Amino acid sequence: MSQSNKKPERISLPRKPKYVTISSDCDFFSLFKKIEKRFDNCFMLESLGEESFISRHSIIGFDPEKLIWAEGKQLFIQERDGSTESYESDNPYYLLRDIVPQNILSRGFAGGLTGYIGYDSMNYFEPTLDLQSSEMFDAFRFGLYKDGLILDKMTGEVIYFYYEDAHSKGEVFEGNRVDLVNAMMAEPTPENGPFVVRPAGESMSKTDHADAVAKVKQDIIEGKIFQCEVGFKKWFDMEGDTINLYEQLREVNPSPQMYYIKFGEQKVIGASPELLFRVRQGEMETFPLAGTAKRGKDAAEDTAFARALLNDPKEIAEHNMIVDLHRNDIGRVARFGTVKVRSLMDIKRFSHVQHISSEIVGIMAEDHDMFSALASNFPAGTLTGAPKIEAMKIIDDLENDGRGPYGGAVGQFSFNGDCMFAIPIRTVFANGNKAYVQTCGGNVYDSNAEDEYEEIQRKFAGTKRVLDSFAPTNTEENA
């Protein structure tokens, strides 16, 4: 690995990708199973469930041309052959802007960076913070994908995209891997291997959590903050084929942002209800979810729970505070006068819970791009609190280890200047056999620790149901 003070090389691409329709009757998830067995680095992004209109397309990427990640003040870039360069930088995140094109002519997905941004990447955006990092995950990690597969859910067509004669380190990269894709499509779908999940404790006991809520309430009384989202991890030992986990999540907890992102031993596997931020042709969107109720046993009970939620003064105050925070975040990078709350306090229903949801939009200012726009909206107010920076200092003090990608972002920066990131919640974060799920609840002045603990358990229910289904049987334990 060489150390370098020089700038990383800018990626050069033709102006447009090529799109080839290769199938109209492919089981896209089965195709991903074949890809996941074959490649150390790959991803699948989907939108499922009642809110699946949020994305008409599902996307698969495999064997990226480069891996790009950050640790502290260094950016690492690894080529396909494993050779790695590191670059010293005051801000490795903004080095991405120097190397990634944002001007490709395509309204559809055109490749780019896909991966995660850890919660502790906020250290790159806010110099007054020094958040603890994660032992299991980098500050951020992306694969650079110049080709991939797109499923159009409306037509059932699978489209392969690539760039012709894209240059990499002075060599021509043969961008077209359609023969490999066709060969994989013709292969039989592999059987899932065995998979076992064992609980391995929690990062905070119920008493510790009650103490944390009391501390937050004292900080509110002292005028430091209005609201703060404190939570904890549930740890697990996982053995075997993790595709089982994603397959079950798709069945049990179909969500508008589903993802399986694999970087070797690191995996982010989730079913998130919440979009963090999206840019499409210069329009920015964010959809904060704040305020939670359980689902009813039928439509009438669903409506009764929703009515109680929308008439709860604490939940409404909490939601309005978050809407204000998101308006401010978008406002910092928007053209003057373009920020609007397009919808305020709708109810969005998911498999196990329903949330109060709003939509905030703005037009990106000329002097900003997808990187600075995401930074301004990172991390979500729904996972931190208000005011955001002060809340994050308190969270970092109360939570006893780094969040990793939890509460950060998972998604992609596209070569056409668009980006789309979900908030990694309802997500399993794994590195080798060690894994965790994290959940938090919004604490305000009149919060009750018992209720907050219950809300955390409710939010965890969908993921827990999936993880519990892989508990070892007695015969396995005794073997």
Dihedral angle of Cα 236, 258, 379, 373, to the nearest 10 degrees: 150
- 99: Cα separation from own chain's centroid: 22
Q: Out of 282, 426, 462, 463, which one is annotated catalytic?
A: 426
| Residue 56 among the catalytic residues | no
Q: Out of 114, 242, 382, 439, which one is annotated catalytic?
A: 382
Give the list of residues 6+ apart from residue 85 with CB closer than 8 angstroms, or none.
1, 2, 4, 8, 76, 77
Burial of 16 (0-12, 13-18, 19+ CB in 10 A): middle
Give the list of residues 6+ apart from residue 417 with CB closer than 8 angstroms, or none.
102, 103, 104, 279, 282, 369, 370
Q: Out of 404, 442, 462, 463, which one is annotated catalytic?
A: 442
Q: Out of 326, 355, 368, 403, which one is annotated catalytic?
A: 355
| Residue 408 among the catalytic residues | no
| Residue 473 among the catalytic residues | no
Q: Are 3 and 86 in contact (CB under 8 A)?
A: yes
Q: Out of 119, 260, 406, 436, which one is annotated catalytic?
A: 406
| Residue 111 among the catalytic residues | no
| Residue 442 among the catalytic residues | yes
| Residues that are catalytic | 355, 382, 406, 426, 442
